[in-house]
Amino acid sequence: MEKSRTLRVTGVGSAMAEQNMTRLTITLKDSCATYNEAITTITESSQLLRETLMNEQCGFAHEDIKTISFDIRRLEKRYDKTLTGEATRPTFLLHLTLFIC
């Protein structure tokens, strides 16, 4: 026959510490008609986002902001058979992800 064991714990506690790290992931997505337009758009958007994050109000340092993903994909031509039947221009999808810590 097994003996029954009881463990009782009572108490009150709290812990506090200043935050010393923030992790933030930001993804920019867009689409453009040409590859050159896609490169220009993603470059300008990335630069504006970095400047915003490093301004006085946000206060992140340049070395704290890392690019972890950069992708431009071309969607193949699609056909609009209901209107003109002609091929539309290809579309380039942009995807940029920044990690801040």
pTM of the model: 0.60
The domains located in the chain, with CATH, are: 24-76+83-100 (3.30.70.2970)
- Predicted local confidence at residue 86, as pLDDT: 59
Q: What is the average pLDDT across 71-93?
A: 68
φ and ψ of 59, to 5 deg:
75, 15
The answer to whether 26 and 98 are in contact (CB under 8 A) is: yes
User: Which residue has better confidence, 76 or 13?
Assistant: 13
Q: Is the pLDDT of residue 55 over 60?
A: yes
Asked whether the beta carbons of 88 and 81 are under 8 A apart, the reply is no
Pairing outcome for strands 91-100 and 24-32: antiparallel
Which residues make Cβ contacts (< 8 Å) with residue 17, sequence separation at least 6? none
Lowest mean pLDDT among 44-48, 74-78, 90-94: 74-78
Q: Which residues contact 67 (CB under 8 A, 6 or more apart)?
A: 46, 96, 97, 98, 99
How confident is the model over 22-46, as pLDDT tens digits?
A: 677 888 888 888 889 989 988 998 8
| Average pLDDT for 84-88 | 59
